[in-house]
Structure 1
Amino acid sequence: MPPSSTNARARRHRGEGQWALGYREPLNKNEELKKNDDGLNVRQRIIDIYSKTGFDSIDPADLRGRFRWFGLYTQRKPGIDGGKTAILEPEELDDRYFMLRVRIDGGQLTLEQLRTIADISTRYARGTADVTDRQNIQLHWVEIESVPAIWEALEAVGLSTTEACGDTPRVIIGCPLAGIDEDEVLDATPQIQQVYDKYIGSQEFSNLPRKFKSAFSGCASHCTVHEINDVAFVGVVGENGERGYDVWAGGGLSTNPMLGKRLGVFVSPDRAADVWAGIIGIFRDYGYRRLRHRARIKFLMNDWGPERFREVLEQEYLGYRLPDGPAPAAPRNNRRDHVGVHRQRDGLYYVGFAPKVGRLDGATLALIADIAERHGSSRVRTTVEQKMVILDIAEDRVESLVRELESHDLRVNPSTFRRQTMACTGIEYCKLAIVETKGTAMTLIDELEKRLPDFADPLTINVNGCPNSCARIQTADIGLKGQLVTDERGEQVEGFQIHLGGSLGVRPGFGRKVRGLKATAAELPDYVERVLTRFQAQKTGGETFSEWVERAAEEDLK
């Protein structure tokens, strides 16, 4: 390559703010904020200063920046409509209360931990508690004065909010059935714990270009949706029968969705934490820091490709070559979740149940702990579908457990619509949202259960309040992206752009966008009923909804 071409490429890459190429001067306010003070240092200021002197004393750089390193976001001030989301300044959107995200790595909770979260919800968060699609539990209405007491309570039972948000390695998701599922390839719990113990809260990876989402799982259902994580370790069986991981990197959704790429390597469990550290190290050092909207690892992977990424990983970060490995087996079913009653490998049973779109409260979390304990369980799990699972139930107690859960509207045998509808936080609390989501999704579930009581096909409906796709709209059968739309009276109202036929697994792909296909929130039940009725009338054999969408005429999708 001519020297001039090499220099031009070097200038271009330095222009992206990549540390490994020698460019460390901040190129935007976020990078300047992180250079001025590591986000992890804000903890002591919260304890020593802000919790004592109150909301008005908080440095804005901490309030809207470093607080995220400990799971704290200011929530949206009530009464501000979605039309003002992109117009108002952050301080105009800010309420004096916080969303607090409790990280639950691997989705694993003891009853003591669950009761602690329930008590915190009741004492400090007006009873709020939402299970997220990354296995966390989010609380709202938290006051800065209460945060040290909340941390003390969480940490006393082995939980934390450290790096639950921010440009950090966020919660590590895992299969809620790790170690008990009859069909799992391997139990990833030790690797999740090793990464958590060694790296979470460490300044080694506390200044990343953007957030970093990880998954470790040996689940036969592929419940951790490895295709759309920044990095994912997926259980596989090698040619010699050894069990280890296939590694994917560079997945992510938001406004520029991309599927992760296989590196083609086989990673033994004892090397998994080192490989994880190498991949996140590449992101830290080579990730793009100039523009926030291009700062995720997916953009680096898209530019490099998996071959170069693997080469840099092996040569610069590991110091050894990784063996080639097989791709994961296909998921064992079309519902990549763990709802219902199923046998564990030890002869006991697990029971997965479906709160509506993850919405719970402190009293219900305490109730779940009590119900589990009465039926002989000491462990519960959260899932990446905003659901929960109770483990270790003896066969003769299953029926009683199911009956008691369902009596509190915690459905073990839910409709497809209850089982597979998710919703992000929405305008109720989120400063980025344009429309309401949780209530809209709940109304949609209720209406569809009445109108289509016999609908039994797997079908995901994901409701998002803005374009950022926290609820994974592009990979849903029916993905609903919140926006303001014009109703029949010519007025702007809450509504959704509709994506159809997204899927992961055997036939991964993003949803189809039909020109002009939008609906107001009020029109949603009519629209979804109409398109599902057409699907049922036209499907052939075992055709899935996404397969039907791929071949359906546009008029049948409207």
Structure 2
Amino acid sequence: MSTIPHIIPTTLSDAARADVLELQEKISGFKSGRIPEERFKAYRLTRGVYGQRQLGVQMFRIKIPYGKLTARQLVRIADIAEEFTNGNLHTTTRQNIQLHHVHLEDTPAMWARLEEVGITTREACGNTVRNITASPTAGIDPDEPFDVAPYAEALFQYFLRNPICQDMGRKIKIAFSSSQKDSAYTYFHDFGFIPRLQVVDGVEKRGFKVVVGGGLGAQPYIAETAFEFLEEEKIIPFTNAALRIFDRFGEREKRMKARLKFLLDEKRGLSLAQYKQLIEQEYPALPHKEYTVDRSLVEQPVIPEARTWPEIAILDQQKFEQWKKINLFEQKQEGFYTVQIKLQLGNLSSETAKELASLLQEGLAADDIRVTINQGLLLKFVRPEALPYLFYRLNHLGLAEPGFGTIADITACPGTDTCNLGVTNSTGVALELERLLKEEYPELIGDSRIAIKISGCMNSCGQHMAANIGLHGSSIKHGALVVPALQVVLGGGVDPSGKGYIAEKVVKLPTKKITQALRLLLDDYDDGALEGEYFNDYFTRRGKPYFYSLLKPLADLSKLEQSDYIDWGHTDAFIPEIGTGECAGVSYDVVGTIITDAEERLHYAHKAVAVQKWADAIYHAYSAFVIGAKALLLSKDLHCNTHQGIIQDFQQHFYATGEFALDLPYDELVLQINKQEPTEAFAGHYLQQADDFLQKVLAKRQQQLEQSKVEKVVVDTYYKA
């Protein structure tokens, strides 16, 4: 394990260097006791450092927009995994790579090494805009109207380090699908973009169908359509304004209600029409009313040259033919194939990763790897004559297993292996189900009509609610003992037409009964489905009660055996151990510390002015206004669950009562932000007003302290807004 401080490479960009140095300083402050643990947690999450189930080590999440990696980048990740971790690269359903068993003190050095090859961990976790995903086939998809990768890249770059999304109420997830088939699952994202072409004033234009407010988790929502067609130059301004409204109106106190899907609940929040109206009102504050995406933003890979490859003998011709049939498809670029690699549980050793990278460096495929949404990998621009030799090399690495994207390619989050929130071992049951399919249902290995996804808890990191057959970790109380269990959900995913479905809960079963449950489901489908009938159509036709009756006998606790009390992959009796999720907010703080937060925002505002980023300066000043007001509201035990609520409550309880004098009513003062263009003049004026306001907040707080003689403790969840 390394010790801080680390030497930061001089080759980093100024922004990256500042990021790494700040993380190093914050770790030092935390270790010395100057920064409380909960406050440090909120900070480190936004830098990709996430606590593991095992004490004393972290998960380090790398942010890889739309899953795009070069061979050099993959080798660098592998090198870091070897030096600082257990040597395993874990791919995720959000096209990221996670490294586990990381020591906190090593994270600045790891981040710096990643930045040298153009990779960041900034905003990979926490209440930020998370990794922007996209169809891994973007750019090569025969069905795509155009390549969506440049738009995903532009959106990633635009919001990286953007002040709007550094401290929102909750995370935001964005996806781009390459076609109407919705292979990126936009339907369960906060914002989803599907490419379309439309003739506008006689000219064919690029644009997107835009959906908003989707989500999985314990209460899944299907996203609503905001626009059937939004011109390409409007998607970044729209997203910018939409995030501002989410930041201002989104819930912050009740964590389980803080996602965009809950804000867009007409009964308790905003209708889609109201949301869009508020978005329109935000446009004056935007630095860009239109934003033209540079279509060359994503560098196109060099296509491998035609050459003669070594002649090899394929020892398993049947496997080779099956691999070609299932794991390959012809690109829209004539004469080239894409090879898809099935990674069991999304795990790739550092040694294997390096050998895979060497195949690209040799010219067997283009230097453009994509991490796929089902935890696999995709290689592009493979020439037909290279396929036998590529298969031979991949097979040697254990990466030529047929079944990518089929029922045999089971998605599973790490579950209780490393996650605090895991209830049961999702990886263990995934391995068992893959074994069962291979041994008992080999004819289904190429069947893409059924997807199986498993999560260790209800939060759906394994995307079980978007599976035809989904499972999530749970437990069943049986006398004095607890049985590890899995909730079975059916009927989720995207149908062949691109329509998205959320799975329905059917029955909870002991985990050791899941193998028999899968047999029952597959046999019943084989016997009862119409010719070519999609699984979800079959589920709908039969109905949920039918499947409940089919599986219910397996839930009979009177017939349990001793092994049923032991989870997959374990030898001891099951004991539920659920920790606190790392996205949870702080549990307490003091008002004075919150005022320090406001001062920090003003510091960022002045730094933005120094580099002439007027819109950033204005937004940091806005945050200082709100956080300063929050501190005084909390001093009176008034709840602070949204920014909008803070603005209204400070107006009512401090300004309207005459307790806090201002030149303008507080709400008018703060909300100048969405009525003024982000000019240099307004930025200077607004920042000065924020400076003056915070000085008055400090004076008011000093007055309160002189009266009470003790610092105010803010209890429970009030701090989060």
TM-score bracket for this pair, using the shorter chain length: 0.7 to 0.9
Task: Describe the SS at the equivalent of 2:176.
Answer: strand
Letter in 2 for 1:272: I
Is 1:536 paired with 2:526? yes
Q: 1:288 aligns with which of 251, 272, 286?
A: 251
TM-score by length of 2: 0.63
1:354, CA displacement in angstroms? 0.8
Between 1:527-536 and 1:343-352, the stretch displaced more is 343-352
1:194, CA displacement in angstroms? 1.9
Contact 2:75-2:353 at 8 Å conserved across structures: yes
Letter in 2 for 1:372: L
Letter in 2 for 1:480: L
Letter in 1 for 2:550: D
Task: Give percent identity, aligned residues only.
Answer: 27
Contact 1:452-1:529 at 8 Å conserved across structures: no
Residue number in structure 2 paired with 1:493: 483
Contact 2:341-2:404 at 8 Å conserved across structures: no
Letter in 2 for 1:258: Y
Q: 2:206 aligns with which of 228, 243, 248?
A: 243
Is 1:511 paired with 2:503? yes
Judging by fraction of residues, say which structure has more strand: 1
Is 1:473 paired with 2:450? no
Q: 1:72 aligns with which of 34, 49, 57?
A: 49
State the alpha-carbon separation in 2 of the partners of residues 129 and 218 from structure 1. 26
1:126-137 equivalences in 2 (<5 Å): 126-137=86-97
Residue number in structure 2 paired with 1:27: none
Task: Describe the SS at the equivalent of 1:299.
Answer: helix
State the alpha-carbon separation in 2 of the partners of residues 398 and 220 from structure 1. 30
Q: Runs of 4 or more off by more than 6 Å in structure 1?
A: 55-58, 318-322
Q: 2:109 aligns with which of 149, 169, 181?
A: 149
Contact 2:407-2:450 at 8 Å conserved across structures: no
1:109, CA displacement in angstroms? 0.6
Q: 1:367 aligns with which of 338, 342, 355?
A: 355
Is 1:421 paired with 2:383? no
Task: Describe the SS at the equivalent of 1:523.
Answer: helix
State the alpha-carbon separation in 2 of the partners of residues 299 and 43 from structure 1. 35
**Residues 145-182 of structure 1 deviation map (CA, whole Å, 9 limit, x = unaligned):** 21121111100011010000100001111122222323
1:18-417 equivalences in 2 (<5 Å): 44-48=21-25, 50=27, 59-77=36-54, 95-240=55-200, 241-303=204-266, 304-317=270-283, 339-345=327-333, 347-374=335-362, 375-411=364-400, 413-414=402-403
Distance 1:484 1:183, change over 3 A: same
Contact 1:479-1:500 at 8 Å conserved across structures: yes
Contact 1:42-1:62 at 8 Å conserved across structures: no
Task: Describe the SS at the equivalent of 2:99.
Answer: strand
State the alpha-carbon separation in 1 of the partners of residues 473 and 38 from structure 2. 29
Task: Describe the SS at the equivalent of 1:181.
Answer: coil
State the alpha-carbon separation in 2 of the partners of residues 58 and 381 from structure 1. 38
Residue number in structure 1 paired with 2:659: none
Residue number in structure 2 paired with 1:521: 511
Contact 1:502-1:511 at 8 Å conserved across structures: yes
State the alpha-carbon separation in 2 of the partners of residues 249 and 281 from structure 1. 14
**Residues 341-365 of structure 1 deviation map (CA, whole Å, 9 limit, x = unaligned):** 3324253222111111212222222
In angstroms, what is the RMSD of aligned CA positions?
A: 2.7
Distance 1:352 1:309, change over 3 A: same
Task: Describe the SS at the equivalent of 1:153.
Answer: helix
1:547, CA displacement in angstroms? 1.5
1:306, CA displacement in angstroms? 2.3
TM-score by length of 1: 0.81
State the alpha-carbon separation in 1 of the partners of residues 52 and 35 from structure 2. 15
State the alpha-carbon separation in 2 of the partners of residues 74 and 230 from structure 1. 25
State the alpha-carbon separation in 2 of the partners of residues 508 and 115 from structure 1. 36
Letter in 2 for 1:296: R
Residue number in structure 2 paired with 1:25: none
Residue number in structure 1 paired with 2:14: none
Task: Describe the SS at the equivalent of 1:542.
Answer: coil
Unaligned runs of 5+ in 1: 1-39, 78-94, 323-337
State the alpha-carbon separation in 2 of the partners of residues 415 and 166 from structure 1. 31
1:418, CA displacement in angstroms? 5.9
Letter in 1 for 2:38: A
Task: Describe the SS at the equivalent of 1:247.
Answer: strand
1:56, CA displacement in angstroms? 8.2
Task: Describe the SS at the equivalent of 2:196.
Answer: strand
Between 1:222-231 and 1:347-356, the stretch displaced more is 347-356
State the alpha-carbon separation in 1 of the partners of residues 251 and 228 from structure 2. 25
Letter in 2 for 1:65: A
Residue number in structure 1 paired with 2:665: none
Contact 2:71-2:369 at 8 Å conserved across structures: yes
Contact 1:232-1:248 at 8 Å conserved across structures: yes
State the alpha-carbon separation in 2 of the partners of residues 381 and 69 from structure 1. 24
Count of aligned positions: 484
State the alpha-carbon separation in 1 of the partners of residues 256 and 347 from structure 2. 30
Residue number in structure 2 paired with 1:446: 435
Contact 1:340-1:413 at 8 Å conserved across structures: no
State the alpha-carbon separation in 2 of the partners of residues 275 and 402 from structure 1. 45
Contact 2:403-2:409 at 8 Å conserved across structures: no
1:430, CA displacement in angstroms? 0.4
Is 1:433 paired with 2:417? no
**Residues 232-258 of structure 1 deviation map (CA, whole Å, 9 limit, x = unaligned):** 111112245422111110000111110
State the alpha-carbon separation in 1 of the partners of residues 512 and 430 from structure 2. 11
